Structure 1
Amino acid sequence: MKKKYLPSALIMYLNYFIHGVGCSVLGQALIKDALAASWQVEAMAITAISAALGLGRLIALPFAGPLSDKLGRRISTAIGSASYAIYLIGLAFAFNAGPNGGYQIAYICAIVGGIANSFLDTGIYPAVTEIFYSAPGVATMGIKFFIAISQMLLPFFLGVTVSTTAAGLTSYNRLFWICGIAYLILFVLVMIFPLPDADQKAEGKKEGLVESLKHTHFSLESIAMILIGFTCTGTFQLWLNCAQNFAVENVGWANPSIMQTYYSAGTILALIVTALLTRKIKDVRFILVYPAICLITMIVVLIGKTQSLMILGSFVIGWAGAGGLLQIATSVCNMLFPKIKGTVTALVMIASSLCNYTILTAASKMAPSQVMVMNIVITGIGVLLGLYVNLRYTKMVDSVEQG
């Protein structure tokens, strides 16, 4: 690593620090209530805006990666930063529009935010591994760390940016504007500071996803791994976006925003502890054990319905659900399917984005208690899939080693 790239790495990580706000802000009960009051809709209807982030990812995923390889990490990251600014500043304009199209404006902006997410992923993930080439695992873990720190601080950010409009509505537009402007500043910095050029352009013509699918035979195990990408995303996304509403309506907790801090604390600790545990325990074990822990936790929360259980549940889901489980599932795919790892990994991420869109869209039309039940069902399916993959693990490893 060359020291001249250190400022560039910080710029990359700061993109994800603000992303931590952008990807979770719509899941906060206070934000939902404020936006719902302005747009004159039910609070749970805001979950559909969160779902639009997944739709944007689905739109961008097929071409964001190839564009990053062809034009370079700088262009991909810059597109992501600029698009995220549109999303966040657009939320402020949508709030001001009120019932006169505000909801529709926010939905479109959220799609742009999802597109931004894809371009940030395809630009920054390879960029930081190119900068810290001797420790690529640590480099990508740093991305998750910056997201988790931002999410932990989110309740504080909400507290210092809240205001009241002339019409008496609670507004968090200051937060949207600050984050949007910060992304515009990062856009400029990305275009100025140096980035390594080692992997910016593809060497020769690579087979695209559609072409690869035509020549790929999918086993039951590979299908199970792809479906795990769907179920494990459902576990933490439904909790992140709907658990606070469950706390308000079913526990009687007026301001449950502190749940976000415990959720993020669990994620941060999981990143450290799980990284140490994977040295002693096979990665594939986590795709069974962690979903099982999440399943038990949500059943206890649904039955118990207390503030203490909501806090404990947030910490546990942050740890076992959001603390790298999707990344572990992806790494298991790479190891078990080396001949089609690019294809399977892409499909796992597409399944993740598809879950984000479909499940959150469904949740927006449901009561919080019904969403909790749906999450339990989805996580339970994930446990069964993880059990199947673990039972087949030895045979799959033998098949890989033979060839």
Structure 2
Amino acid sequence: MKNKYFPTVLSLYINYFVHGMGVIILSQNMDALATKWSTNSAGVAWVISALGIGRLIVLLVSGKLSDKFGRKPFVILGMITYLAYFVGILLSPNIQIAFVFGILAGIANSFLDAGTYPALMESYPKAKGTMNVLIKAFISGGQFLLPLIVAFIVSNNMWYGYSFILCIVILVINGIFIAKVPFPPHTAEEAAKEGLEASVIEFKKQPKWYIDGIVFVVYGYISQATFYLVSQWLTKYGLSVVQMGELASRSLMSYYSVGSLACVFISSFLQQKGVKPRALIVVYTFISMITLGAVYLFPSPTVTSIGAFAIGFSAAGGVMQLGLTLMSEIYPYGKGTVTGIFYTSGSIASFTIPVITGIMSTTSIASIMGFDAVIAVIGFVCGIIIAIRHKQIVKEATR
């Protein structure tokens, strides 16, 4: 808290609290939106897929531009674009127009990522992994709160749009604040003047793009796909497959978010005690693989509820951010560019997963969870490769 960029960091995290709600707000209001747009769950899933397209359009470019022009412009631009998304969805009369605003949400997310992740690592260079993982605490906070809000709105026969209005209000207030706070320098020369560049990376040998770059790109896709699929379909899975009630099925997302929050703080504690991010990645991807297999094979209320917590813990508690941290250590120059590359692969998942699962939902909701279990197996394999390669390449990483 003595760091002069602490207010800046806090405001950046608040953006991701809203982002956590924004990621699932369409799926949580799926029935109301389907009725408004005269479509079905697959139609709403199609709109959700637009978020991935939006991220693909600008993420890589915005990451490079962030390295050139700084982080603050892209954070503010992301907030403005997110506001347009929330307002636009409320005003959209059909899925075609909603799809356009869904693209805006993806663009907004890309702008935020391009500015936020580098800014966090530059604000606290000795605690990059912890700062990146803490983003998940705020994302999970939003994902924990929103299902409860939507459940309250539905049970009281209120207008579904109030959940969107809440996001708009928070963004406006935070936008006024963030416009006034300073951001850390984004170049090595300026950072050295402030004494911020305290991280030292030494290599045993140079990384190879055809091995390390590719495995990080694949991992970016898989880690995003694993938790994104669950966040979009867990409530529907509880209702349709497990035969849970309305409130109980919506509560699954809250269990998922609590698990994610728990993992954030446990991961931060373990890293402070010297446990390396590469070890955590292997453990978490293994837990995801086992849990998703159990939820698919044994779809009971008890298994699904416990599984929701465990999946949130292992797949959505910052394992993707840990991957970005490790990639930024293997490729330490150009944090915005690294962020853009890593999350571009994740954005491909944000686009393709809703399309694939939307098609699958027309025949079997249960098969969606089996599909996620297969993805988790691939994620575990990638996690092992990343851990081995990081150990072989990085001699010393002082955070």
Q: Verify same fold: TM over 0.5.
A: yes
Q: Give the whole-Å Cα distance in 2 for the aligned partners of 1:12 and 1:387.
A: 31
CA distance in 2: counterparts of 1:390 and 1:129, whole angstroms? 21
* Stretch of structure 1 that moved more, 138-147 or 172-181: 138-147
- Describe how 1:200-219 pairs up with structure 2 within 5 A: 218-219=209-210
- CA, structure 1 residues 386+4, in 2 after alignment: closer, same or farther (shift >3 Å)? closer
Q: What is residue 104 of structure 1 aligned with on the other side? A: 96
Of 370, 374, 379, the match for 1:377? 374
Moved more, 256-265 or 225-234: 225-234
Task: Within 5 Å, give how 1:203-282 maps onto structure 2.
Answer: 218-255=209-246, 256-278=249-271, 279-282=273-276
Which of residues 83, 86, 89 is equivalent to 1:85?
Answer: 83
In structure 2, how many angstroms separate the alpha carbons of the residues matched to 1:189 and 1:51? 31
TM-score, normalised to structure 2, is 0.83
**Which structure ranks higher in relative contact order (CA pairs < 8 Å, sequence separation ≥ 6)?**
2
Q: Following TM superposition, by how much is the alpha carbon of 1:70 offset from its aligned partner in structure 2, in angstroms?
A: 4.0
Per the alignment, residue 47 of structure 2 pairs with: 49
Q: Report the AA paired with residue 244 of structure 1.
A: T
Deviation, 1:197, is 5.7
Q: Identify the residue that residue 186 of structure 2 maps to in structure 1.
A: 199
Report deviation, 1:245: 1.3
Residue type matched to 2:264 in 1?
L
- 2:111 maps to what in 1? 119
Residues 1:75 and 1:397: Cα distance change in structure 2 (over 3 Å): closer
Structure 2 residue 318 is the aligned partner of structure 1 residue 324: yes
CA shift digits 1:39-84 (9 cap, x unpaired): 2222243222222111111111122224334444332222111110
* Partner SS, residue 364 of structure 1: helix
Q: Per the alignment, in what secondary structure is the counterpart of residue 366 of structure 1? A: helix
Cα-to-partner distance string for 1:18-44 (whole Å, 9 max, x where unaligned): 11111122232xx11111122222224
CA distance in 1, matches of 2:145, 2:226: 22
Whole-angstrom distance in 1 between the partners of 2:36 and 2:391 = 55
Shift of 1:315: 0.5
| Offset from partner CA, 1:330-364 (integer Å, 9 cap, x none) | 22323445589876654322111111111222111
Letter of the 1:116 counterpart = A
Q: What are the residue-to-residue correspondences of 1:5-20 with 2, within 5 Å?
A: 7-20=7-20
Report the CA distance between 1:374 and its aligned residue: 1.4
Amino acid at match of 1:68: S
Q: 1:222 to 1:199 in 2, by over 3 A?
A: closer
Residue pair 2:85, 2:104 contacting (<8 A) in 1 also: yes
Secondary structure of 2:360's counterpart equals: coil
Partner of 1:174: 162
Amino acid aligned to 2:18: I
- Paired residues, what number? 375
Consecutive unaligned residues of structure 1, counting only runs of 5 or more, are 204-215
Q: 2:30 is matched with which residue: 8, 29, 32?
A: 32
- Quote the Cα distance in structure 2 between the aligned partners of 1:340 and 1:14: 25
The amino acid across from 1:85 in the alignment is L
Deviation (angstroms), 1:186: 3.1
Check 1:82–1:93 CA distance in 2 against 1; reply closer, same or farther (3 A cut): same
Q: In the alignment, residue 367 of structure 2 is paired with which amino acid?
A: Q
